[in-house]
Chains A and B, each alone.
Chain A
Amino acid sequence: MLKIENLHATVAAKPILKGLSLTINAGEIHAIMGPNGAGKSTLSYVLGGRPGYEVTDGSATFDGADLLDMEPHQRAAAGLFLGFQYPVEIPGVSNVQFLREALNAQRRGRGEEPLSGGEFLKVAREKAALLKMDMDMLKRSVNVGFSGGEKKRNEMVQMGIIDPKLAILDETDSGLDIDALRTVGDGINTIMRRPGKAVLLITHYQRLLDYVQPDFVHVLAAGRIVKSGGPELARELEEHGYAEIAA
């Protein structure tokens, strides 16, 4: 589904990704761990097509298509979803309005009919219930006045409504309380553990992986994948830290 080869990228003329390769197949869940500043969020932004993140070498394909050649909204319509480490506030725009416009823009991009207000609200209610989020929250402005944990949970409601093929979730677990972590974990499994879908979890902690068990765990350090393994790698890291691996 996603094939990244020798990816080099710079931010503000500073090289951050330095030859990163990673392949994710449909049906797989991958986790990326790594020290602060290693380039994990940068990877998600580069894959999402964020302006200012310049690819200087390498390639990335999504379902065989050149991902790097697409506009951000085209990548979204193709099925790529980013769960943001720091979800953004949009004052005056309700979550319902935001998501309905976004979803219908994606559907238009794929040549599908737009959802009516009623159809959309049905989906929204279902996903909000799944993530145990009050519908009233969805009527409020996007992330405005949301607590840190509420913002993360809102990202997952958005993922549920948008129903992507590949979700890259950047520290979705940080800021969540113990119960919320379980709810979000269950939500990710319900929404994404399906044939034809895949997830890339970026996380610092084992605890999310207890709920969403990865098939592969990678260590990203200094802009490259320096080690890959199975779920046991995450536990090793939690015990020993990155020092010996990066060495």
Chain B
Amino acid sequence: MDDVKIKDQAAHDAAAKVADYEHGWSADIETDFAPKGLTEDTVRFISAKKNEPDWMLDWRLNAFRHWQTMETPDWAKLNVPPIDYQDAYYYAAPKPKPKLGSLDEVDPEILEVYKKLGIPIEEQKVLAGVEGARRVAVDAVFDSVSVATTFREELKRAGVIFLSISEAIREYPDLVKKWLGKVVPMHDNYFAALNCAVFSDGTFVYVPEGVRCPMELSTYFRINAENTGQFERTLIIADKGAYVSYLEGCTAPMRDENQLHAAVVELVTLDDAEIKYSTVQNWYPGNADGLGGIYNFVTKRALCQGKRSKVSWTQVETGSAVTWKYPSCVLNGDDSVGEFYSVAVTNNYQQADTGTKMIHNGKRTRSTIVSKGISAGKSNNTYRGIVRVAPNAEGVRNFTQCDSLLLGSLSGAHTVPYIEVRNPTATVEHEATTSKISDDQLFYAMQRGLDAEEAVALIVNGFAKEVLQQLPMEFAVEAQKLLGISLEGSVG
């Protein structure tokens, strides 16, 4: 454990060194590392750590062997230095503890972490157990293992299953087996395959037929151990007529070394079901010179399998050095609906390549895409999207709006829409704009009393409003602040 202490000390030092990153600190929690590097033994270690059944280990090994045969992706608009997969840790868990009955038993240090993360007061009240507080269930993925789950009982009464995915593998093997890897197959892409092999933990949600989940479900991810790749796995299933709103938010402590994050999120909606999935992503973007920062290579996909089902992705992406992420919808069910609302902010040397794929297989399926890219500093921000209409998908409609806002003259904005329509009855519309924050706007706002940064934040929030208003209330406020913070230092 000494080794761990030293690492945490190093993390503290790193955090102290650069104070301008609001969440740049590292909690002092002992970490149980898997040995460095990635071999079949690593996969076995992780599986054993999690007490997994054999079928799960086989599944992982299968993925691992497949991953070894794959090539790293071609980075299109991204500039990513080669990643040494043998020079990273693939598993880090907080010190093993007995199962917790309530939040009172949660390590105070972890609660402190929530505080620093700026978890909204309402949710802190919930965490503190204040009566009458608005109910939001928080399943905290701290490092890689869920350490606290609130409201599990109440959710259980409603029939909602909200667990860490490792618990779900043990307790609901049939549900997991039925859907895991069905939305994002293990051979889908390099990072998805890697995730299948080494995912450490994540979230599982099942909302049964006809149930409206009684509260918003919320998970806070946090990368907390140095040099530890994070491989979260999320699986959410909304059965017929079910509804659930899920919030995912993340920040990360200061680091000098690049960290890889390759999550996989799978959503499934059956007939008339709806999932609303909201993300605020604020991982460490690297410093003003482009050093450090998280690599965020996420595969997020929804399978709208049922008729009239709906999935709505809303994301606010402000963090990470490199973001590569395309939350998508496969619209199989007739009359199903996919939505993608995105704000991506890049500053300094950040690179974001994000967008969505709307795959229209069912009849009269509809999709809406609203993407707002904001680039400052020397950053690059790309919208990349596909709208595909299958030959027998009659009466499909899509509307896409891509707006880019540039701050300064050194940043880049790119829009790469692919439209593949194989059915003549489809209506596909695409609109794109690129604008700059004008000196007129800035001076007008400053003359009314705002300083330069407040003025930028205000104008940017106005630009992103259509997306921000899709977020649940408490998230919207956080997200607005985040946009301002991310653009600090981009004017003046």
Chain A residues packing against B (C-beta within 8 Å):
45, 48-52, 71-73, 75-77, 81-82, 84, 86-93, 97-99, 101-103, 105-106, 109, 141, 158, 162
Chain B residues whose C-beta falls within 8 Å of the C-beta of A84 in the assembled complex: 444, 447
Q: Which of B54-62, B226-234, B286-294, B451-459 contacts A (4 or more CB under 8 A)?
A: B451-459
Verify B443–A101 contact, CB threshold 8 A: no
How many Å lie between the Cα of A99 and that of B458 in the bound state? 11
Q: When the two chains form their complex, are residues B441 and A88 in contact, meaning their CB atoms are under 8 A apart? A: yes
Alpha-carbon gap, A202 to B452, bound state (A): 27
A-binding segment of B77-85, B132-140, B460-468: B460-468
Partner of B463, one of A92, A102, A109: A92
Nearest CB in chain B: distance from A72 CB, A? 4
Within the complex, what minimum Cβ distance (angstroms) separates A14 from chain B?
17
- The residues of A that contact B452 with a CB separation of less than 8 Å are 71, 73
Q: List 21 A-B contacts (CB under 8 A).
A: A48-B447, A50-B443, A50-B447, A52-B439, A71-B446, A72-B446, A73-B446, A76-B446, A76-B447, A76-B449, A88-B444, A90-B445, A91-B463, A92-B465, A93-B461, A102-B448, A102-B449, A105-B449, A105-B450, A162-B448, A162-B449
Chain B contacts for A92, CB-based, 8 A: 461-466
B window 416-458: CB within 8 A of A: 438-452, 454, 458
Q: Tell me how far the C-beta of A97 lies from the nearest C-beta in chain B, rounded to whole angstroms.
A: 8
Q: A77-B449, A98-B448 are in contact. Are A105 and B459 (CB under 8 A)?
A: no
Q: How far is the CA of A92 from the CA of B442 in the complex (A)?
A: 15
> Shortest 6 CB-CB distances between A and B: which pairs?
A92-B462, A93-B462, A102-B448, A92-B465, A106-B449, A88-B444
Q: Which of A48, A82, A86, A98 contacts B458 (CB 8 A)?
A: A98
Q: A51-B443, A92-B462 are in contact. List 6 more A-B contacts (CB 8 A).
A: A73-B449, A87-B444, A92-B465, A92-B466, A93-B461, A105-B450
B447 A91 Cβ-Cβ under 8 A = no
**In the docked arrangement, what's the CA distance between A86 and B454, Å?**
22
- Are B450 and A73 in contact, with the CB atoms below 8 A? yes
* Complexed CA–CA distance, A159 and B211 (Å): 52
Measured CB to CB, the closest approach of chain A to B342, in angstroms, equals: 16
B444 touches A90 (CB 8 A): yes
What residues of A have a CB within 8 angstroms of the CB of B447 in the complex? 48-50, 72-73, 75-76, 81-82, 84
When distances are taken between beta carbons in the complex, the residues of chain A under 8 Å from B444 are 84, 87-88, 90
Distance of B485 from chain A, by nearest CB (Å): 16
Which chain B positions have C-beta within 8 A of A45? 443
Contacts of A91 in B (CB 8 A): 462-463
Cβ B443 vs Cβ A105 within 8 A: no
A171 to chain B, nearest CB (A): 16
Q: Is the CB of B439 within 8 A of A93?
A: no
Complex Cα spacing A166 to B445, Å: 18
Q: Residues of B contacting A50 with CB < 8 Å?
A: 443, 447
How many angstroms from the CA of A105 to the CA of B449 in the assembled complex? 6
B356 CB, min distance to chain A CBs, angstroms: 22
Q: How far is the CA of A89 from the CA of B435 in the complex (A)?
A: 13
Q: Smallest CB–CB gap between B30 and chain A, Å?
A: 43
Once the chains are docked, how many angstroms separate the CA of A94 from the CA of B426?
A: 36
A72 touches B465 (CB 8 A): no
Give Cα distance in the complex from A183 to B449, angstroms: 26
Q: In the complex, how many angstroms separate the beta carbon of B405 from the nearest chain A beta carbon?
A: 10
Question: A77 vs B438: C-alpha distance in the bound complex, in angstroms?
Answer: 23
Cα A106 to Cα B449 in complex, Å, equals: 5
Mask: chain B, 364-407; 1 = CB below 8 Å from A; 0 = not = 00000000000000000000000000000000000000000000
CA distance A233 to B444 in the complex (A): 32
- CB < 8 Å neighbour of B450 from A52, A88, A101: A101
Known A90-B458, A91-B463, A141-B462; judge A99-B448 contact (CB<8 A). Answer: yes
The residue from B440, B449, B454, B458 contacting A88, defined by CB atoms under 8 A apart: B440
Q: Which residues of B contact A51 (CB under 8 A)?
A: 439, 442-443
Q: Binary interface profile of B, 330-361, with partner A (CB < 8 Å = 1, else 0)?
A: 00000000000000000000000000000000
Q: Give A69 Cβ to nearest chain B Cβ, in Å.
A: 16
B318 CB, nearest partner CB in chain A, Å: 18
Query: What B residues does A106 contact at CB under 8 A?
Result: 449
